């Protein structure tokens, strides 16, 4: 992995210089790449404690900086300037997005810096996939226990005291007024209960923390909707002699294995209703609903929007569906089936017409795309890893505009009629449609990529006999590893497509305009796809009957 380090000086809203270090992990263009922001605690700086080592070992680009008044940044060091810290985070994020094209992936904060990170994540109107909260204080009045009688005597007599501390082998002093202390102890962290469900929060806390009680971590675990708690035995507030363990925990959290597991646990059910539905004779069948939508500014009344469940389903071919499978489709009230396959596929694998359900043939590819030369060329992209898959999916987006128009038109005109979208495996063409649907409604890229990855379990081939069969079908043109790659659906494939999509089309709204919809029609499509959380809560009771009918 190539890695470079760049010092940046960024002006904040007051014209002050905010100094930080950008760690770039590869030589490729930063446009659309993931970005982590690392924030230090009170009287800290960008290289304090574990921050510099963490920045080196994170698997993605990151920026660590000095808050105003700290380290090499301009300004006066203050005790309770939480809002100023939030403003500095906003300043550096906007700069790095505008100048480098980054996509904010995570915010990582320690102690007071984590308080600012949590505030930013709860109140900014954007998708932030992850927040790492390291030893943040929750109950602010407890800070009073850190000060002895002379401090309070000074406050009563002079209205302030000086907090002496050692930093970079030098003794420094920070003036703390009575107003500063009052503002600190009255800072209410209960806002964390408004953290979006789409933001996954990891809280790390040392069991031997002598500054912030361990019970504060429990408050975060209980209040934040999407939360993971990790308590570290023997670790104090600064993680002395525990830096390596802390960094390992954070990197494990960001690992593909852990994130896949966490996603599956969280989204396996939608309000108690299973996402995966066993349709006998059909592979890879699941509900696309239940994900939280993030469109524009968050509502003051806290009404959240979600994709309607039991309305849109994705899956593989229905050609082999059994009578029992058809019974289950009827229980789901399926009204229409969109078949994205082309005629040569249908001729080879067949079609199942089901009474009471309208089948719409909406092929993504023209018939000449199935000529041997064209077919082998397209298949070849699926053997070239991340770059090949994203290229193949960009072709699907262009070739599939007419097919995808038909599906979105159904959503516009028949919002009460549940439907299925399928191709052959329910992986590539269907996966690209699912991406368009979720991204149209502001579902964050992390969730879109994880949703796509769910297909991997259902389409991956491991049986040596089956792999050999496909090798023989291609007259040994592709080897066994290439065949396995063709049938995979990895997180990185969709992640790469999303970057290409953003760079080329800018938004799904623009893509749908190219397909032929008007701006008003696109807004109506969005409205037809969403329900608010108050309605969502009401239908939870109805879902109990649906569960029973599917068991």
Residues 495 and 406 both lie in one domain: yes
* Residue 2 reports pLDDT greater than 70: no
Asked if residue 81 belongs to a domain, the reply is yes
The stretch 436-454 carries a mean pLDDT of 96
Would you state the pLDDT for residue 168? 65
* Residue 544 reports pLDDT greater than 50: no
* Residue 373 reports pLDDT greater than 70: no
Asked if residue 233 belongs to a domain, the reply is yes
Would you state the pLDDT for residue 298? 56
* Residue 195 reports pLDDT greater than 50: yes
Asked if residue 478 belongs to a domain, the reply is no
Asked if residue 477 belongs to a domain, the reply is no
* Residue 1 reports pLDDT greater than 80: no
Asked if residue 496 belongs to a domain, the reply is yes
* Residue 547 reports pLDDT greater than 70: no
Tell me which of 186, 216, 243 is where a domain ends: 186
Would you state the pLDDT for residue 294? 87
Residues 396 and 539 both lie in one domain: yes
* Residue 47 reports pLDDT greater than 70: yes
Query: CA 123 to CA 413: how far, in whole Å?
Result: 35
Q: Domain limits at 114? A: 4-138+194-254
Question: pTM to 2 decimals?
Answer: 0.88
Residues 320 and 228 both lie in one domain: no
Q: What three-state secondary structure class fits 104?
A: strand
Would you state the pLDDT for residue 307? 96
Q: Which two tokens stand for residue 98?
A: 């505008």
Asked if residue 267 belongs to a domain, the reply is no
356 burial type by CB count under 10 A (0-12 exposed, 13-18 middle, 19+ buried)? exposed
Residues 231 and 366 both lie in one domain: no
Would you state the pLDDT for residue 297? 59
The stretch 304-316 carries a mean pLDDT of 94
* Chain segment 272-284, per-residue pLDDT in tens: 889 999 999 999 9
Residues 211 and 236 both lie in one domain: yes
* Residue 537 reports pLDDT greater than 60: no
What CATH code is carried by the domain that includes residue 516? 3.90.190.10
Residues 180 and 234 both lie in one domain: no
The stretch 297-304 carries a mean pLDDT of 58
Residues 162 and 233 both lie in one domain: no
- Percent above pLDDT 70 for the chain: 92
Would you state the pLDDT for residue 528? 97
At residue 33, what are phi and psi to the nearest 5 degrees?
-75, 155
Would you state the pLDDT for residue 543? 45
The stretch 277-295 carries a mean pLDDT of 93
User: At 94, is the pLDDT very low, low, confident or very high (cuts 50, 70, 90)?
Assistant: very high
* Chain segment 448-491, per-residue pLDDT in tens: 999 999 998 777 777 787 788 777 767 777 888 888 888 889 99
User: At 143, is the pLDDT very low, low, confident or very high (cuts 50, 70, 90)?
Assistant: very high
- Percent above pLDDT 90 for the chain: 76
Domain count, the chain: 3
Looking at every residue in the chain, the average pLDDT score rounds to 90
* Residue 167 reports pLDDT greater than 80: no
Would you state the pLDDT for residue 300? 45
The stretch 515-544 carries a mean pLDDT of 77
What CATH code is carried by the domain that includes residue 14? 3.40.50.1820
Comparing 125-134, 244-253, 333-342, the range with the smallest average pLDDT is 125-134
Residues 128 and 171 both lie in one domain: no
State CA 229 to chain mean position distance.
18
Asked if residue 359 belongs to a domain, the reply is yes
Query: CA 547 to CA 550: how far, in whole Å?
Result: 5
The stretch 197-204 carries a mean pLDDT of 95
Query: CA 250 to CA 165: how far, in whole Å?
Result: 28
The stretch 440-455 carries a mean pLDDT of 95
| Closest alpha carbon to 120 in 220, 58, 199, 182 | 199
* Residue 539 reports pLDDT greater than 50: no
Asked if residue 115 belongs to a domain, the reply is yes
**Would you tell me how many other CB atoms lie within 10 Å of the CB of residue 329?**
22
| Closest alpha carbon to 146 in 112, 110, 118, 172 | 112
Ranges of H-type helices in 140-187 = 149-158, 178-185
* Chain segment 9-19, per-residue pLDDT in tens: 999 989 999 99
Residues 125 and 151 both lie in one domain: no
Query: CA 177 to CA 393: how far, in whole Å?
Result: 59
Residues 179 and 199 both lie in one domain: no
Residues 92 and 169 both lie in one domain: no
* Residue 179 reports pLDDT greater than 50: yes
| Closest alpha carbon to 142 in 214, 78, 67 | 214
Would you state the pLDDT for residue 26? 75
* Residue 550 reports pLDDT greater than 50: no
Residues 500 and 435 both lie in one domain: yes
């Amino acid at each position: 992995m190539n890695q470079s380090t760049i010092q940046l000086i960024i002006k904040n809203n007051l014209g002050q210089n905010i100094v930080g270090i950008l760690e770039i992990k590869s030589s490729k263009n930063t446009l659309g790449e993931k970005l982590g922001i690392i924030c230090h605690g009170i009287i800290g700086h960008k290289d304090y404690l574990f921050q510099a080592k963490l920045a080196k070992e994170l698997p993605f680009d990151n920026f660590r900086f000095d808050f105003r008044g700290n380290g090499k940044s301009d300004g006066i060091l203050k005790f309770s300037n939480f809002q100023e810290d939030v403003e500095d985070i906003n300043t550096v994020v906007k700069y790095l997005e505008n100048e480098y094209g980054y996509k904010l992936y995570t915010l990582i904060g320690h102690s007071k810096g984590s308080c600012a990170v949590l505030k930013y994540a709860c109140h900014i109107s954007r998708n932030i996939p992850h927040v790492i909260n390291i030893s943040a204080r929750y109950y602010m009045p407890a800070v009073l226990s850190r000060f002895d009688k002379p401090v309070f005597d000074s406050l009563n007599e002079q209205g302030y005291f000086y907090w002496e501390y050692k930093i970079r082998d030098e003794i420094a002093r920070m003036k703390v007024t009575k107003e500063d202390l009052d503002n600190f102890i009255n800072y209410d962290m209960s806002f964390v209960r408004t953290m979006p469900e789409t933001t996954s929060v990891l809280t790390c806390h040392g069991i031997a923390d002598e500054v912030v009680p361990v019970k504060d971590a429990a408050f975060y675990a209980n209040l934040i909707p999407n939360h993971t708690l990790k308590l570290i035995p023997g670790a104090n507030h600064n993680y002395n002699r525990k830096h390596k363990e802390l960094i390992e925990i954070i990197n494990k959290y960001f690992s593909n294995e852990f994130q896949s597991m966490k996603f599956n646990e969280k989204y396996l059910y939608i309000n108690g209703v299973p996402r995966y539905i066993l349709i006998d004779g059909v592979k890879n069948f699941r509900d696309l609903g239940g994900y939280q939508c993030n469109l524009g500014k968050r509502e003051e009344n806290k009404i959240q929007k979600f994709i309607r469940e039991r309305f849109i389903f994705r899956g593989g071919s229905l050609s082999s569906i059994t009578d029992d499978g058809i019974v289950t489709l009827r229980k789901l009230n399926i009204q229409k089936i969109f078949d994205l396959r082309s005629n040569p596929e249908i001729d080879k694998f067949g079609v199942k017409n089901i009474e009471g359900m309208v089948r719409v043939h909406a092929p993504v590819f023209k018939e000449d795309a199935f000529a041997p030369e064209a077919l082998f060329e397209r298949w070849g992209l699926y053997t070239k890893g991340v770059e090949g898959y994203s290229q193949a999916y960009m072709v699907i987006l262009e070739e599939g505009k007419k097919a995808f128009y038909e599906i979105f038109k159904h959503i516009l005109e028949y919002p009460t009629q549940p439907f299925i979208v399928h191709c052959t495996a329910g992986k590539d063409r269907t996966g690209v449609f699912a991406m368009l649907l979720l991204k149209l409604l502001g579902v964050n890229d992390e969730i879109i990529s994880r949703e796509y990855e769910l297909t991997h379990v259902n389409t991956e081939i491991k049986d040596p006999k089956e792999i050999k069969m496909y090798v023989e079908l291609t007259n040994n043109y592709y080897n066994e590893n290439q065949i396995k790659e063709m049938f995979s659906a990895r997180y990185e494939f969709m992640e790469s497509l999303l970057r290409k999509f953003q760079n080329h089309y800018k938004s799904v709204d623009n893509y749908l305009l190219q397909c032929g919809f008007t701006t008003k029609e696109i807004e109506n499509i969005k409205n037809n796809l969403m329900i608010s959380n108050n309605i969502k809560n009401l239908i939870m009771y109805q879902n109990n009957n649906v569960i029973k009918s599917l068991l």
